[in-house]
Amino acid sequence: MFEAFSYITLQHYWWIIVSLLGAILVFLMFVQGGQTLIYTIGKTNDERTILVNLLGRKWEFTFTTLVTFGGAFFASFPLFYSTSFGGAYWVWIVILFAFIIQAVSYEYRSKAGNFLGKRTYETFLLLNGILAPLLIGTAVATFFTGSQFSVNFMNITRLTGDKMPIISEWTGPAHGLEAALSLHNLALGLAVLFLSRVLALLYFMNRIKHAEMMERVKKQLIINAIPFVFFFITFVIWTLLSSGFAVNPETKEVFMQPYKYLHNLIQMPIVAVMFVLGVALVLIGIIRPLTCFEKCSTKGIWGAGIGTILTVLALFLLAGFNNTAYYPSTFDLQSSLTIQNSSSSQYTLTAMSYVSLLVPFVIAYIWIAWRAIDTKKIDIEELESETHVY
Amino acid sequence: MEHIDFSLVDWSRAQFALTAMYHWLFVPLTLGLSFIVAFMETLYVRTGNPEWKRITKFWMTIFGINFAIGVATGIILEFEFGTNWSNYSWFVGDIFGAPLAIEGIMAFFLESTFIAVMFFGWNKVNKKFHLLSTWLVAIGSNLSALWILVANAWMQNPVGMRFNPDTARNEMVNFWEVLFSPVAINKFLHTISSGYVLASIFVIGISAWYLLKNREHLFAKRSIIVAATFGLVTTAFVVLTGDGSARNMAKYQPMKFASMENLYVGVQNAPLVAIGILKEDAKEASHKKQDFRFEIEIPNMLSYMAFLDPNAYVPGIKDLVHGNPERQILSYKEKSELGKIAITSLAEYKNAKKAGNDRLANAAKIRFEENYKYFGYGYYAGRDIHELIPSVPTTFYSFRIMVGLGVHFGLLFLVVLLLTLKDKIAKKRFILYTMLWTIPLAYIASELGWVVAEVGRQPWVIQDILPTIAAVSQLKPASVQITFWMFFLIFTALLIAEIKIMTKQIKKGPDEDKSAADTASANN
């Protein structure tokens, strides 16, 4: 069936899949947000144990989503993988490092003989919790603000001279870390960081049975929602008012177009609806538990979670669709990556599209498995009866 | 002027080797232990005997400790293809990316979803659902191995693709050819079964320790029976698939094969050097087959091993480097000239295309396609051709130690299984010590297998098509050095933590309170 799709349709289809994975990843980063709140919400050892275990049963999904996001991006848009990972080296390495230290921390934190000590593993969780959302947010912001690199396929034919036969060359001064120096990028990074904390608090509301902790959660929800909204609005307005990286559909030439992303929003009404609906759901998800805690506290994570996915998906589509360069180069505009010039071949995209049919099954079994083990809210008694505790 | 930054290439290789070798310290145990635990839990569900549950849960705890760090090192490997081998990522990303994505969608989610049920579901889901989850974790881990090994095998024997000069990359033309290439199937089976052997050695080794300490007799014996049986069967499989790997190597990577055998001058009826010690000062120029200090040969065996024919001709390193017209082997110098034609024709094609000169472009394209199979050699035109020879001593010794240890493992499983079935194992202290001390040997054998595979194929990232010097990312060597040491420190710290936690868990032993089987163990 996918054979009947045109190349450009497949490229769009895969951009949607990659965007969706990215959007789910941002939602699942509530695990990271939660890691930064362990000592804020948990005042006693028991309370912290509850939090760590609650997050510890979900961290692998965030991790796996990140790995799958990377794999899918590689398979469908290899030029991005090549250019961004090899070029913005340091920003990706720091992100990866933050995930190495997370992967062991849950399992090793409370185990006897863990070498580095409980506090070290908790610090690892904190570092991962801050760096991952902040830097992933910052890196995604460069989809709108651009980076400094050049791409030239001819480079692989270099046999002499003083340069290596490498296609992509990064010209940014700090191999990616320079992205974090731009306030525009940082605004998104900080928005994602505070969003992940907000989502974590909503997740705690959904899963914890503990009156005192709930009081702290409610208070923190307000404290974190305000900077989230501030940074998010800053980023959105800044982006919509900036010039964007447009592609001439005939000549494939990349040029700067004023208000490009605003135009994209207007020209793609479905994306606009998705965006507005997403933002509204996130806000409702935050406000409702505060106004009707008794009834609505468990539902906030669903509203805000689905809202996050819709909003991030809309942002990715704004960056990649409607003749836009999604990974622009400010050093050499014509090196900018578009979903057309950076994608895999039609054959590979077709083959991969069949694999994508597995995704609904994956979601179904995740759902079944979660339902099976998350039957009731968590408290310290439940943990005491548990045989595998972090 | 030298345009290749060898310091960059070497550090990038070092970083990848470091990550891969650390990752491989944890993966084989995960691959094998996941199945061993699944067997044990199956026995529990079938018999309802709580001792089996206790056994299952103990090994599951060990599995969890090991799994976490495997995940931590694995994510780095995936992203290092991009961060450190960016040219590679574009040059073959159209083929190589797909298995990585499929691995995520098909295998990693299966693993991570059901691992949660496996650990947290004991009191929440029924026995059958729990057992199913444990099996799905085992299947998930092994499926993830399938896809990454398919990807690795494809690098050793690139099939199912075509170079597209317009996009300057290789593009997949046949997915099934990539997936079902004989190299891929063999590599997958050989690697996972070696993981099963390692996990079996691990389980019998730890069980032996309990017997030496006169603890947990029933637990230890039952663990040994499951693991030694599994180990024995899978060792046979490792031998069988290892043989297949050697044949594939002889066919598709003759240089790797020759260097693994220290075979400099090609011969018919080639003997296999079962045991040998190389002369250190041997240089390729003066090198002959007799450059051993000491050797034990099996006549005709190498020819048979490589081509299933005792009379077959096996080319040596000299034949491959300097060519052998009699055998229609081109020299590396000739190949590098042809490769250079391919590379320059590609440039001409692109320039002609740009200028709109179709006639010139077509001519260049034809020239390019004729010579594409030597593309990678082109980067060595005018260079010292000896850069194309991998380290002979490394591959030669690694291979022999691996095989020797493999034989030891097979015999050990057999002896241990017989002694346990006759209920004599607890008294054979020498055997018990051997079992315990074989654990590190299993890790050595496993790592050396990868050394043969990966050092032996140097300098090729993609066999004959892309060498490391044209695959790296454009970075400052200092950056890669810093990240190398960063990874080295964190991996080492985590490895120490893992070993310490595991040792503590093992000393603590299986949970006491949860089982009524202690009395049974005392009676046994």
* List of chain A residues whose C-beta atoms are within 8 Å of the C-beta of residue B491: 100
Residue B274: its H or E element: strand B272-278
Cβ within 8 Å, pair B64-A388: yes
Residues whose CB falls within 8 Å of the CB of residue B95, separated by 6 or more in sequence, listed in order: A348, B154, B158, B160, B161, B170, B171, B172, B178
Of residues A99, A358, A387, nearest to B57 (C-beta): A387
* List of chain B residues whose C-beta atoms are within 8 Å of the C-beta of residue A101: 72, 490
Closest CA to B236 of B90, B406, B412, B439: B406
Closest CA to B144 of B181, B177, B114: B114
Q: Which residue of A has its CA nearest to B470?
A: A165
Of residues A75, A89, A113, nearest to B503 (C-beta): A113
| Amino acid at site B234 | T
Q: How far apart are CA B510 and CA B221, in angstroms?
A: 14
Q: What is the pLDDT along chain B (524 residues), one digit of tens a residue?
A: 477 889 999 999 999 999 999 999 999 999 999 999 999 999 999 999 999 999 999 999 999 999 989 988 999 999 999 999 999 999 999 999 999 999 999 899 999 999 999 998 898 899 999 999 999 999 999 999 999 999 999 999 999 999 999 999 999 999 999 999 999 999 999 999 999 999 999 999 999 999 999 999 999 999 999 999 999 999 999 999 999 999 999 999 999 999 999 888 898 888 898 888 887 655 555 555 557 778 888 888 899 889 999 899 999 999 999 999 999 999 999 999 999 999 999 999 999 999 999 999 999 999 999 999 999 999 999 888 888 999 999 999 999 999 999 999 999 999 999 999 999 999 999 999 999 999 999 999 999 999 999 999 999 999 999 999 999 999 999 999 999 999 999 999 999 999 999 999 999 999 864 444 443 443 33
Chains A, B: CB pairs < 8 Å:
316
Token pair in block for residue B401: 């130690």
Distance from the Cα of A88 to chain B's closest Cα (Å) equals 8
* List of chain B residues whose C-beta atoms are within 8 Å of the C-beta of residue A131: none
- Which candidate in A331, A381, A388 is best for mutational testing of the B interface (most B CBs within 10 A)? A388
Query: Residue A92 class from Cβ within 10 Å (0-12 exposed, 13-18 middle, 19+ buried)?
Result: buried
* List of chain B residues whose C-beta atoms are within 8 Å of the C-beta of residue A78: 89-90, 93-94, 97, 169
**Alpha-helical runs (H) found in chain A:** 7-28, 30-35, 38-41, 45-56, 59-76, 78-80, 86-87, 89-109, 118-145, 183-207, 211-241, 260-267, 269-291, 293-296, 300-320, 346-356, 359-373, 380-384
Q: Which residue of A has its CA nearest to B67?
A: A104
Of residues B85, B104, B123, nearest to A385 (C-beta): B123
Helix (H, G, I), strand (E, B) or coil at B329: strand
Token pair in block for residue A141: 């912001």
Low-confidence ranges of chain A (pLDDT < 50): none
Q: Which residue of B has its CA nearest to A163?
A: B3
* List of chain B residues whose C-beta atoms are within 8 Å of the C-beta of residue A166: 86-87, 470, 472-474
Distance from the Cα of A40 to chain B's closest Cα (Å) equals 26
Of residues B76, B93, B501, nearest to A74 (C-beta): B93
* List of chain A residues whose C-beta atoms are within 8 Å of the C-beta of residue B106: 355, 358
Tell me whether 0.90 is exceeded by the ipTM: yes
Q: How far apart are CA A358 and CA A356, in angstroms?
A: 5
Question: For residue A364, how many other CB atoms are within 10 A of its CB?
Answer: 10
Distance from the Cα of B491 to chain A's closest Cα (Å) equals 9
Q: List pLDDT tens digits, range B332-389.
A: 999 999 999 999 999 999 999 999 999 999 999 999 999 999 999 999 998 888 889 9
Crossing angle between the packed helical segments B127-156 and B109-120, to the nearest 10 degrees: 150
Q: What is the pTM of this model?
A: 0.94
Q: How far apart are CA A141 and CA B259, in angstroms?
A: 50
Cβ within 8 Å, pair B112-A64: yes
Nearest-Å Rg of the Cα atoms of chain B is: 26
